[in-house]
Structure 1
Amino acid sequence: MHSTIKRYIYLLTGAVVISSCSMTKGVPDDDQLFIGLTKINYTDYEENDNYSATREEIDAALATAPNGAILGSSYHRLPFSFGLSVWNAFSADSSGLGHWMNKTFGKQPVLMSWVNPQLRAQVAKSVLRNHGYFHGNVDAEVVLQNNMKTAKIGYDVSFGHLFTLDSVRYVGFNREADSLIHATSASAIVRKGDPFVVANLDGERSRISNLLRNNGYYYYQPSYASYLADTFAVDGKVQLRFQLAEETPAQARHKWYIGRVNINMRKTYNEAFTDSMVYRYLTIRYAGRRPPVRPRVIIADMKIRPRQLYSYDDYLQSAQKINAMGLFSSTEFQFTPRDNSPSCDTLDLTLNCTFDKPWDSYIETNFNGSAIGRVGPEVKLGLVRRNAFHGGEKIDLSVHGSYEWATNSSSSMSNYEYGFDASIEFPRLIAPYFGGNSTQRYTLPDGRTVRLPRRFYATPSTVAKVSSNTIRRPGYYKMHIVSGKWAYNWQTSATSKHEFSPLTVKYQFMNSHTAEFDKVMEENPYLRATMQDYFVPEMRYSYTYTSPSTLRHPVRWTATVSESGNFTSLALLAFGKKWNEREKKLFKNPYSQFVKIETDFTKIWTLDASSQLLGHVNAGVLYCFGNTDWAPNTELFYVGGANSIRAFSVRGIGPGSFPGIEDKAMSYLMQNGDIKLVCNLEYRRNLFGSLYGAVFLDAGNVWNVRDNYGTSVPYATTKFKIQNVLREMAVGTGLGLRYDLDFLVLRLDWGIGIHVPYDTGKGGIYNVDGFKKNQTLHFAIGYPF
């Protein structure tokens, strides 16, 4: 037995050696195959933020992926590289097949001469100097392996003394510019006592440039000022002077004001103008009988105003808002002096706008998998019309459909859904209060004025939308859901967003249902109440706060308040309907009456340059009263899934201690609640390259305001009781991987159940019924929160 094992070990070792030798087949005699880095040795440093940032840059400068690297790692690789094997086999083959194999699958060997460790060490040494470690040093060593044709690289990095700023002076600016610089000294990026960091010097140069350009200095450029650093006056410190060059042009030394504004509208790039509209300080040129878009649509998004001081930020925001409208294929802002006299301080603005094609189409596809064993495709087709009524409006029409078939033997019938959506978005708030208040007026030649709407941080919008959806569930029912929405979206600052929908209506009615469905409804009064026909007249407000991205420990908070049926009940009082009268109807259906509050909070603690700790809480409560005791199924809360409690599937937990029923299709509909609480704690860390890892702990559940489901499940207590919250919280942990592709993040989470809220016959915290039965794998796009 032992001899057999040894023989297999010898054979395996021989195979590995042969594979290793084949990797070095094409390596020249005076070179080696690079197979990765040894651990970089850092010495002579003090722990601080500057050290962490410097080390991160040095790691990036020295990083080099060998052949067979695992996800771009400089340290971890496979014992052999398929791409390199193909290269060695076919690089010298001039045949068509050899050329195709090499081009398609081959990968050129990463040689030590190509890596050039000495040059990379010099780059890393420059990084040290750029962060204030003027005496720092980086040494590189080639570490030969057992196979002399392969080698690793070892780097030794010595930081040495950190030079800090002894003083910072600004020299050569005129009195007005100098006053601006000193008035904003609190926001300076370089200050006395800070480390001498070249990136901070460049940042301060840009700050001064933006400060001056935002206060009228249109022609000022960052290159007009330079730094002079003295490292000898004070031992171990730097005396810094930021000095305006003597040859700075006169145009860059004084302020400029906006003169006339000319807006040129073209449907094509070479279209000639045939008409114009001339105001006192505004001229609009176009072709045809009228402008392609009403002028106020563009003017409302422009922060640049005649007779005002030029501001670079106003220009950027104007360009961003106008481009965000989606109407134009190109926009160009041209600022030109009124004349060439030395005393000229006026810039005339010409805005050239070329319209994009008015029509667009799109198609979206998806493949869905449900928690009840059904999979199938989903397709959405859409058509978009821009500038529909010459006011920047956008019409979006779409149809969608999905089909699911069973993956198990419990049902041979298939689900399907289909419907349509139609929406129109106006780039303004259509409301009397906002429309009647203006911040700027233009005077026409005949004495009339043009009012401009209230300005926001970003372009506000008004959205009107209608949709219809038909749902078919085999063996149970066919349902229609028709909805309509009128909503306002606006942003008052860089951190605050608002959404208000004064009217959202949803009409849910069942076309047909089977005897099997009726039987389940009779056995479960709760499910019968949530699945009956409903009319939902809803009002909704949502506020989102996002802290500035510059904060080290940012937060994001969203709060949503909605209500349904309360104003309807007030209106029906005039017709003799009592407030507490049940089952009052609109459009032949009882309407829902409830108040719903939901909040979502996320906090990020940045631990170091490569790791974070995140805390997340999501909570909500829905209370029905007056006309109804239960809300429609679509309004209820649920937990579980890739963005909630990851140890369980969507709607796999709750409400309360309800364990579910054998019919998974019905259990899926029943596991909702009026109250929700979800808490998440996640630690994220960069593993290597673009691969990140995570360890998480999730807990939560949903509950009902009222007692239980009904006579069929009397053991299932679902009512919220404060003394039972901790015991009825489902708890799960797990591990995750995230691969950052820059434009999106691929996420894989493996959730493991620790505690379920219902009785499993086991006591204590770990009460799950077997490890294998309580683990879930989630593949998703983006982060969970």
Structure 2
Amino acid sequence: MTKNLKYIFILSVLLSACSNTKYLAPGQKLYTGGEVKVQDKDLKKSEAGAIKEELQTLLRPKPNGSILGLRVKLWIYNKTRTKKTKGIAHWLNTKFGEPPVLVSSVDLDKNSNILQNRLQNQSFFQAQVTGDTVSKNAKSKTAKAVYTAVTGPGYKIRKVIFPPGKESIDTAVAGTSAQTFLKPGDKYSLDVIKNERIRIDAKLKEEGFYYFAPENLIMRVDSTITGHQVDIFVAVKNDIAGRSKNIYTIDNIYVYPNYSLRDTSLMLDKAQHYRWYNVVERRKTVNNYIFANTVLMHPGEVYNRTDHNNSLNRFVNLGPYKFVKNRFEDVSTDSSKLNVYYFLTPYKKKSLQLEVLGRTTSANYTGTQINLNWLNRNAFKGGEALKVTLFGSTDVQVGGDNGGFNVYQAGIQTTLSWPRFISPIYPKADNAYIPHTNLTLGYTLVNRQKLYTLNSFNMSFGYQWKESVHRSHELNLINITFVNPQNVSQLYKNTIDSNKNPSLQHVIDKQFTWGPSYSYTFTNTTEDYRTNTFYYNGKVSLSNNLYGLIRGADTTAGKVRTLFGAIFNQYVKFENEVRYFHKTGPGSSFASRFIVGVGLPYGNSTILPYSQQFFIGGPNSLRGFQARSIGPGSFDPSSINTSKGAFLPDESGDIKVEANIEYRPKLFSIVRGALFVDAGNIWLLNSNVLQPGGVFTKSFLKDLAVDAGFGLRFDLSVLVLRTDLGVPLRAPFRQPGEQEWNLNFRRAVFNLAIGYPF
């Protein structure tokens, strides 16, 4: 009976949503949308379809929104209409309701003129558009608008004529002709003409024409040419200001590093000259050399917009400054020279920030972390950012297989970042981005309750720089990590002995790595206008390679070497990650990711140090499996006999392959959906008798774990709250009699996380 009532309720809601027209007054008709019909026998079907699609986006008003044909918002509006200005009904009506869009609100003539104008701007000079409303019958309470567009012939460009004059401005405009957007044979387009004016202006700005503007250009079109062709004459208007025709050079450059709105005087008497610019301030807050990496224009050089914009961006990226404003002024009325002024408003020099974070992992840990950040944005008056972070965290298990062996961490991280290269040799970087030299020192204490304590020390020194808006680099000349285990409990030792599990022993091995690393990133994912976007990150890490070779380290031959009294790790590690995104509509997309990582331990090592190994599973990886619970290869971690109250170790490997694909549809408001499939695993490079099936072979595809699932994402602007339910489809190991592919919702894993998985 309960089920029947549920179905009756759902049916009544759907029927109610379909009967919105009963609320209309006599004579009113609900507008169901506009349709454009393109009529021209000479147009290709694909071209007519593209024109139709474009024109339909221009129609106004938009009809009431619908989901699967049901106008839910209109139904809410009709059901909650009230004269009251307060209460739940008024709130639902104004917050979620949508008033009816009536046919009477459609201006057919205005829409027809807009469509006709658009066609004429796109080469169809003889286009005609008419509109009418259409109903199924006289009694129908709905109607749509139908617009018929007769395009006529499309006009093409025969030739483009640039200014033949000998003035510097005419010569400069004519000099841009090789890169023109106006190509003979292309169809006439007003949009292309507008972009051509902007292109020419941008080119002239690179050649010193500071006061020139796109509006100073005129494009005369002669459409009297036979064969539906046009000639386009590019010219500089006769009545433009004289200075728009002049080439300007830079004279003096002034930087104000402590500017406020109260400053009304230029204080040129306090200017301190440094190399090619002047620093002006009442009280010294910075060393003059700080701006040598930001002021890209030089006295005597011809003005160009690239250096202008790049300098502004570099001032912003320098770090200490909240606002940057600049001004160009004529040296005199009869001079073609510019003085440049940069007015910088600083942040508060020092700040203290407290962060409290919460997290839940698929390994059934609930965690809390507290960070206390102290920041000095101008530590030594050279724009150096000194940041000290004290942190502490707890990860407490509330269920699962690990028996409540909780994890506590505390530590300190200190980072000093210089806004420049500190090196006699460095790559050229005269773009919009400031390069940085970074020094990091840190210590972390990890206490896994009742098991062990790890003391972890780390240090790095290196560089970060952006080659362009898409390409960035990170080179660390030194990466040092030293992990020293202490207070290993007897319970943990007994578990190692009884289970003979190398993963358990590997966690508490001393780890000493020393070497460089390099990372390259390419991405255009921030360019929202693209249908397809791409991300790639590649990284290579080294540890004690040259030192190990010199010392003749070979652990397989018993030649184990030490550095500073500690056994060091020797390896080469490669990491690659590719992401591809394809838009399918407003707010909806396909996202995919592919990861390949390979670590090659040799010489003094037979396996990567635990801190450098690969792991798989969890909310940002294989979501149908708990974090670090599968692999290596076809090895079954549950095959190890564990006593009651013991724990399962984190599984790790030297090689990782992972692939993910996800469909992300926009559902409504701030809610996005997700349908996903994940696959992957980790492997060992060298075989281990205690982990049978764990080594990487040419049959590695048979070891892949696969899951699928669905989820919701709540885009709250400042963060994205994500929920995923992953269901295992294929495990790399199977119990006797178990099928290779097995959809089992009882093994589903619920993931709660912040942000997208990739």
Report the TM range for the smaller structure's normalisation: 0.7 to 0.9
Report the alpha carbon displacement of residue 373 of structure 1 after superposing the two structures with TM. Answer: 1.6
Write the distance in 1 (CA, Å) between the matches of 2:299 and 2:531: 39
Find 2:257's aligned residue among 249, 260, 265.
265
Quick one: structure 1 residues 22 and 480, their matched pair in 2 at CA, closer, same or farther if it must change by over 3 Å? Answer: same
Write the distance in 2 (CA, Å) between the matches of 1:105 and 1:79: 10
Find 2:299's aligned residue among 285, 306, 329.
306
Report the alpha carbon displacement of residue 424 of structure 1 after superposing the two structures with TM. Answer: 1.3
Asked if the contact 2:597–2:656 (Cα under 8 Å) also holds between the matched residues in 1, the reply is yes
What is the match of residue 704 of structure 1?
684
Secondary structure of the corresponding residue to residue 595 of structure 1: strand
Normalised to the residue count of structure 2, the TM-score between the two structures is 0.84
Write the distance in 1 (CA, Å) between the matches of 2:591 and 2:4: 50
Write the distance in 2 (CA, Å) between the matches of 1:746 and 1:236: 57
Secondary structure of the corresponding residue to residue 527 of structure 1: helix
Asked if the contact 2:74–2:99 (Cα under 8 Å) also holds between the matched residues in 1, the reply is no
What is the match of residue 385 of structure 2?
394
What is the match of residue 511 of structure 1?
486
What is the match of residue 253 of structure 1?
245
Write the distance in 2 (CA, Å) between the matches of 1:236 and 1:742: 51
Deviations 1:476-530 (A, max 9, x none): 2232322122121122344432211111222212232333321232221243124
Write the distance in 2 (CA, Å) between the matches of 1:666 and 1:63: 66
Structure 1 window deviating more from structure 2 (224-233 vs 12-21): it is 12-21
Secondary structure of the corresponding residue to residue 661 of structure 1: helix
What is the match of residue 465 of structure 2?
490
Secondary structure of the corresponding residue to residue 727 of structure 1: helix
Report the alpha carbon displacement of residue 350 of structure 1 after superposing the two structures with TM. Answer: 1.9
Write the distance in 2 (CA, Å) between the matches of 1:181 and 1:726: 60
What is the match of residue 728 of structure 1?
703
1:241 aligns with 2:214: no
Asked if the contact 1:174–1:253 (Cα under 8 Å) also holds between the matched residues in 2, the reply is no
Letter in 1 for 2:540: V
What is the match of residue 383 of structure 1?
374
Letter in 2 for 1:617: F
Asked if the contact 1:529–1:630 (Cα under 8 Å) also holds between the matched residues in 2, the reply is no
Structure 1 window deviating more from structure 2 (413-422 vs 393-402): it is 413-422
What is the match of residue 734 of structure 2?
759
Quick one: structure 1 residues 17 and 556, their matched pair in 2 at CA, closer, same or farther if it must change by over 3 Å? Answer: closer
Find 1:678's aligned residue among 658, 667, 670.
658
Letter in 1 for 2:628: R
What is the match of residue 275 of structure 1?
270
Write the distance in 2 (CA, Å) between the matches of 1:49 and 1:364: 56
Asked if the contact 2:396–2:407 (Cα under 8 Å) also holds between the matched residues in 1, the reply is yes
Letter in 2 for 1:285: V
Asked if the contact 1:415–1:472 (Cα under 8 Å) also holds between the matched residues in 2, the reply is yes
Write the distance in 2 (CA, Å) between the matches of 1:650 and 1:514: 24
1:430 aligns with 2:422: yes
Secondary structure of the corresponding residue to residue 494 of structure 2: helix
Report the alpha carbon displacement of residue 628 of structure 1 after superposing the two structures with TM. Answer: 2.6
Write the distance in 1 (CA, Å) between the matches of 2:175 and 2:48: 27
Asked if the contact 1:602–1:616 (Cα under 8 Å) also holds between the matched residues in 2, the reply is yes
Write the distance in 1 (CA, Å) between the matches of 2:165 and 2:70: 54
Report the alpha carbon displacement of residue 308 of structure 1 after superposing the two structures with TM. Answer: 0.6
Q: How does 1:47-86 map to 2 (within 5 A)?
A: 52=50, 55=53, 58-59=56-57, 61=59, 64=62, 66=64, 69=66, 77-78=71-72, 81-82=75-76, 85-86=79-80
Letter in 1 for 2:436: S
Quick one: structure 1 residues 65 and 718, their matched pair in 2 at CA, closer, same or farther if it must change by over 3 Å? Answer: farther
What is the match of residue 343 of structure 2?
352
Write the distance in 2 (CA, Å) between the matches of 1:617 and 1:420: 34
Write the distance in 2 (CA, Å) between the matches of 1:490 and 1:544: 11
Write the distance in 1 (CA, Å) between the matches of 2:46 and 2:755: 31
What is the match of residue 545 of structure 2?
566
What is the match of residue 694 of structure 2?
718
What is the match of residue 622 of structure 1?
599
Asked if the contact 1:479–1:508 (Cα under 8 Å) also holds between the matched residues in 2, the reply is yes
Secondary structure of the corresponding residue to residue 167 of structure 1: strand
Normalised to the residue count of structure 1, the TM-score between the two structures is 0.81
Find 1:111's aligned residue among 82, 96, 101.
101
Deviations 1:204-261 (A, max 9, x none): 1111110001111001011111233334424444433333211011111121111111
Quick one: structure 1 residues 730 and 136, their matched pair in 2 at CA, closer, same or farther if it must change by over 3 Å? Answer: farther
Secondary structure of the corresponding residue to residue 653 of structure 2: coil
Report the alpha carbon displacement of residue 673 of structure 1 after superposing the two structures with TM. Answer: 0.9
Quick one: structure 1 residues 369 and 102, their matched pair in 2 at CA, closer, same or farther if it must change by over 3 Å? Answer: closer
Write the distance in 2 (CA, Å) between the matches of 1:618 and 1:428: 32
Deviations 1:303-346 (A, max 9, x none): 211111100121011101111223223322221222212xx221
Quick one: structure 1 residues 81 and 571, their matched pair in 2 at CA, closer, same or farther if it must change by over 3 Å? Answer: farther
Report the alpha carbon displacement of residue 193 of structure 1 after superposing the two structures with TM. Answer: 2.6
Q: How does 1:86-125 map to 2 (within 5 A)?
A: 86=80, 88-89=81-82, 92-93=83-84, 101=91, 105=95, 107=97, 109-112=99-102, 116=106, 118=108, 119=110, 122-125=113-116
Write the distance in 1 (CA, Å) between the matches of 2:74 and 2:173: 59
Report the alpha carbon displacement of residue 421 of structure 1 after superposing the two structures with TM. Answer: 1.8
Letter in 2 for 1:476: L
Quick one: structure 1 residues 105 and 263, their matched pair in 2 at CA, closer, same or farther if it must change by over 3 Å? Answer: closer
Quick one: structure 1 residues 641 and 177, their matched pair in 2 at CA, closer, same or farther if it must change by over 3 Å? Answer: farther
1:471 aligns with 2:446: yes
Quick one: structure 1 residues 481 and 659, their matched pair in 2 at CA, closer, same or farther if it must change by over 3 Å? Answer: same
Report the alpha carbon displacement of residue 382 of structure 1 after superposing the two structures with TM. Answer: 1.7
Deviations 1:274-325 (A, max 9, x none): 833135853322113xx32222222321221111110012101110111122
Asked if the contact 1:335–1:350 (Cα under 8 Å) also holds between the matched residues in 2, the reply is yes
Quick one: structure 1 residues 694 and 51, their matched pair in 2 at CA, closer, same or farther if it must change by over 3 Å? Answer: farther
Quick one: structure 1 residues 428 and 6, their matched pair in 2 at CA, closer, same or farther if it must change by over 3 Å? Answer: closer
Write the distance in 2 (CA, Å) between the matches of 1:105 and 1:607: 28
Write the distance in 2 (CA, Å) between the matches of 1:740 and 1:137: 42
Write the distance in 1 (CA, Å) between the matches of 2:209 and 2:244: 6
Report the alpha carbon displacement of residue 534 of structure 1 after superposing the two structures with TM. Answer: 1.8
Deviations 1:46-97 (A, max 9, x none): 4668964872573375573637x55xx9x654286445544x12xx226x65
Write the distance in 2 (CA, Å) between the matches of 1:102 and 1:608: 28
Quick one: structure 1 residues 281 and 767, their matched pair in 2 at CA, closer, same or farther if it must change by over 3 Å? Answer: closer
Letter in 1 for 2:496: M
Quick one: structure 1 residues 130 and 634, their matched pair in 2 at CA, closer, same or farther if it must change by over 3 Å? Answer: farther
Asked if the contact 1:259–1:281 (Cα under 8 Å) also holds between the matched residues in 2, the reply is no
Structure 1 window deviating more from structure 2 (38-47 vs 483-492): it is 38-47
Letter in 2 for 1:352: F
- What fraction of aligned residue pairs are identical, expressed as a percent? 21
Secondary structure of the corresponding residue to residue 672 of structure 1: coil
1:320 aligns with 2:313: yes
Asked if the contact 2:369–2:392 (Cα under 8 Å) also holds between the matched residues in 1, the reply is yes
Letter in 1 for 2:441: V
Structure 1 window deviating more from structure 2 (470-479 vs 138-147): it is 138-147
Asked if the contact 1:680–1:696 (Cα under 8 Å) also holds between the matched residues in 2, the reply is yes
Secondary structure of the corresponding residue to residue 545 of structure 1: strand
1:458 aligns with 2:433: yes
Quick one: structure 1 residues 682 and 201, their matched pair in 2 at CA, closer, same or farther if it must change by over 3 Å? Answer: farther
1:544 aligns with 2:521: yes
CA RMSD after TM alignment? 4.4
Quick one: structure 1 residues 335 and 456, their matched pair in 2 at CA, closer, same or farther if it must change by over 3 Å? Answer: closer
Letter in 1 for 2:247: K
Asked if the contact 1:372–1:665 (Cα under 8 Å) also holds between the matched residues in 2, the reply is no
Write the distance in 2 (CA, Å) between the matches of 1:598 and 1:561: 6
Find 1:198's aligned residue among 187, 190, 195.
190
Q: How many aligned residue pairs are there?
A: 742
Write the distance in 1 (CA, Å) between the matches of 2:563 and 2:345: 49
Report the alpha carbon displacement of residue 538 of structure 1 after superposing the two structures with TM. Answer: 3.1
Quick one: structure 1 residues 775 and 167, their matched pair in 2 at CA, closer, same or farther if it must change by over 3 Å? Answer: farther
What is the match of residue 532 of structure 1?
509
